[in-house]
Amino acid sequence: MGREHASTGGSDVPERLGDYLLERRLGSGGMGVVYLARTVAGRQVAVKVIRRDYAEDPGFRARFHREVAAARRVSGAFTAPVVDADPEGSPPWLATLYVPGGSLTDRIDHEGPLDARSAARVGAQLAEALQDIHRCGLVHRDLKPGNVLLAEDGVRVIDFGISRALAASRRLTESGAVLGSPPFMAPEQLTGDGEVTEAADVFALGAVVAFAATGRSPFESGEMPGSDPLAVAYRVVHERPRLDDVPEPLHDLVVRCLAKDPERRPTVAAVLRMAARADSDARTHGDARVDGEGATEGSSVLPPDATEPRQEPARTRAPSRPRARRRLAAWVAAALAVVVAAGVGVWLVTAPGEADGNATDGPTEDGRSETAAFRPWELDLQDLGVRDAATEDFRCTTAEAEDIGLLCTSGGGLTVVLDAATGKELWWHNGPRDAPLAPSAIHGGEEALVFAHSDKGVVALDASGDVVWEIDAPELTGSMATVRGSLVVQNGDSTLRFYRRDEPVPVGSWEAPGRYLTATVSSGTQVLVESRADETGADPQLMLLDAEGRELWAGPRRPPDEARGMLEPFGMDAEAVYFQEFDPDLPVVSALLRLDLQTDTWTRTELPSPADPRSVVADGVMYASDTGGRITAVDARSGEVLWTRATGVETASEPAVSEGRLYLSDVEGRLYEVDARDGEVLRRGEAHPGTPGPGSDAWPPAPAIVDGRAYVVTLGNTLYATELSALR
């Protein structure tokens, strides 16, 4: 098509581009100028004329040609499709279906933020649009409020797939111009670290929903948009988003979408379900702002019948084997956390002479403050070589044996033991750096040993950090557990091996040929192992084993028919095993289950609201919680929901249970004491903010509670110890 008259650099409006009569200028952006145009038959289109400096770049033209061809394949209820284009024109241009009505940016500028229900519907519609875009092999890369148009029957996403050609041609800024929209760009887009995938669009969706609900980007300072783009980009990469004003029904969706790590963001299909749930929660809690005669704000542009998600099968990105192994690793990591919390326990550390209040001065030969009186202390984890506690899975627990102090681990790598009274480092052990699926170290129980990953396999370390013995386990993965006098390790995908805890003598093994072991949990007297048929997690089977790997059931057990999601064990005692149920595409817990080991009967309890996958059990009660501070208590035997309560704790940690109290920390490192009978917040401590790192959008690990003290890992990358009596 030829261009009869055009001027993209001045104020004149071109008269015609090919068969399109250009009527008026609609706006401009980093890529070019957009005009309202009309065909001979009267159909309106929006024509984007590409800026001359891009048009003169042969590489850009070639990419633009490919992207236009791909974008023409996109069709969907919530996209504005490309209807015509001339990538070879002078300058290049493309035409999309014109959508009357302004953008989401215009709507917020003129009328203020949307209510929670309308913002949830925007999220659902954007998720549907992204499904259509991703289905064609495209990544939008520039999803932002200005590219979201509000039609009478819902949103329309524009510029899908076209921005890839632009992103490949220029850096973030050039000659003072910002190419891209930093407040809505994923960290990996800004740093260039790693491939930009569909997960970048999920990040942008979360930022757009936050903008719709609050009127600002979660990464811009102040109340007005337009912050310095480089400062905003820095905050996107390094700082936590500001989500104080995001309505509670939307908070979980936004937090998960804005995870710094692309692997931790939900899939688009999962976001669609989360948005539908947020809409339902907002309706239930009356969270919509109402204007005039009962009309919900924003309803004129976001009608309810245009926002219900289509009933399509959930789709996930096809995993490569490494990603599938990471999924297995997530199951295994959860099982290991259970082993530490439930199978091994939280034990008392008492130095000789401390019980009667006597204290002597000076450390022992190994540096241990043998009888020092406890004083509150705080440690910067950088001093231990931990750059970010959240992303490096740093957590601590106390030991049963009086000669072992505070045991802290960072994944399967770092193991460090601290003096519980002073925080002084006693000894440390580094596991191999090239084994991301290796288990964390655990206590050895009565033998006063710590079992950790080593170059050879598994090493047993004594109270001074000296090697007592070591065994070969070249394919060590999964989790470790202790049961009676045995240490249980997983070697390879399908085999458990049992050794004496006090010496490297094998006592048995158990194998599930052709299957994958995905969880191991111990009661201290028995072991339950979960296996699955393949990397997709199909056909889960459970088997109960003794301390030498002998099967205690005649055949495997399977989840009950009413369980609709993935089951993951989070606790075990002499009577039962406890499970949390969640969708594998959306790691949100929807139900808690109990398997009675004597009767083989299941008790399943649907939760009144979704929780995060970090449930705990104590004294016959299961507790589910989320990062928003909501806790639900369930009687494990009867399945009765005892209570559910919103504690108001922001970015709540995993909970710990001790003597009828729940303990959890918040985003600023404050410790909270909650009554386990009804969820009432009883006391809280002082803030320990530290210096938040890249994992500050995660949740902290559970505090370790023992002998009236708490040991708390914070999102500020610190570890502190305090007396519970110091809580206000």
Phi, psi of 384 (to 5 degrees): -100, 5
Cα separation of 54 and 109, whole Å?
30
Q: CB-hemisphere CA count at 13 Å for 411?
A: 20
The dihedral formed by the CA atoms of 704, 710, 713 and 716, expressed in degrees to the nearest 10: 160
Contacts of 723 (CB under 8 A, 6+ apart): 374, 376, 708, 709, 710
Q: CB–CB of 259/282 below 8 Å?
A: no
Rounded to an integer, what distance in angstroms lies between the CA atom of residue 39 and that of residue 86? Answer: 16
DSSP state for residue 224 in the 8-state scheme: S
In angstroms, rounded to a whole number, what is the distance separating the alpha carbons of residues 102 and 179?
22
Q: Give, in order, the Cα–Cα distances in Å from 622 to each of 476, 566, 609, 614.
A: 31, 18, 15, 11
What is the rounded CA–CA span in Å between residue 509 and residue 506? Answer: 8
Q: Which of 316, 449, 427, 314 is nearest to 367 (CA)?
A: 427
Degrees to nearest 5, angle at CA 553 with 549 and 556: 95
- Work out the number of other CB atoms within 10 angstroms of the CB of residue 350: 12
What secondary structure letter does DSSP report for 557? B
What H or E segment, with its residue span, contains residue 661? strand 661-665
| Calpha distance 341→357 (Å, rounded) | 29
Give the whole-angstrom CA distance, residue 567 versus residue 160: 37
Query: Catalytic one among 142, 493, 612, 626?
Result: 142
142 is catalytic: yes
Report CA dihedral (264, 265, 268, 271) to the nearest 10 degrees: 110
For residue 22, the cross-strand partners are 37
**Strand pairing partners for 641?**
634
> Phi, psi at residue 94, to the nearest 5°?
-145, 150
Instruction: Judge contact between 659 and 682, C-beta under 8 A.
Output: no
The set of catalytic residues is 142
